Amino acid sequence: MTTRIAILASGAGTNARALLSASEKGELGDAEVVALFSDRAGCGALGAAAEAGIEAVVVDPASHPGREAYGEAMAAALRDRGVDLVCLAGFMRILSAGFIAAFEGRVLNIHPALLPAFPGAHAVRDTLAWGVRVTGSTVHFADEDVDHGPILVQECVPVLPGDDEASLHERIKAVEHRLYPEAVRLVVEGRTRIEGRRVLVDAAPPAAPPAAPRAASPAAPRAASPAAPRAASRAAGAR
């Protein structure tokens, strides 16, 4: 059964584009991106969805005052489209507890740091301010807290001498655009299990159930092939 994916995004949409491209190429496994939702009209992510021929929807926070009301509206829109998996790609709103409960274990987020270090909206800036030597990207299951849920995959990115926020973020994004589709595929293939704060990943997809045996069809009678002529034995004729 094909997994129906929705992307939630607020900004330029570079990670959204990576997921849309991977979906089009079949790199997410048996899955397809069916819609992109945003809280900001006119953002780049909506344009990316339109270019890909994917439904682009704005759920306006002003029409749903309060986090819980907004979460209920978003969850209803996702359910109406039969969404199985939600991928946050720079979605700049804190999800309500009700939304997380409605899609428990089915919401992924990507963050430009090695969580639990440097959560929040300014992770790259904070990384440079603290002078760390290594940062990276994290894909994790989302919960109602900011950048907090169980970690699925991470990849390191070195902080180079002379890096500023823009140059470091560009290298992190290059990793993210590969890492996020890979993480989504792990979930689609059923290879992940959440146990408390840990995510266990199976080395290979679960084996498909054996196919039901097919009834043998009656064998059609075969025509006898003509016997090949045999050369006469010289010994037989010399009597």
- Catalogue the active-site residues: 111
Rounded distance between C-alpha atoms, residue 143 and residue 101, angstroms? 9
Rounded distance between C-alpha atoms, residue 113 and residue 3, angstroms? 28
HSE-CB for 31 with a 13 A CA cutoff: 30
Torsion of CA 82, 84, 85, 91, to 10 degrees: 30
* N- to C-terminal Cα separation, the chain: 78
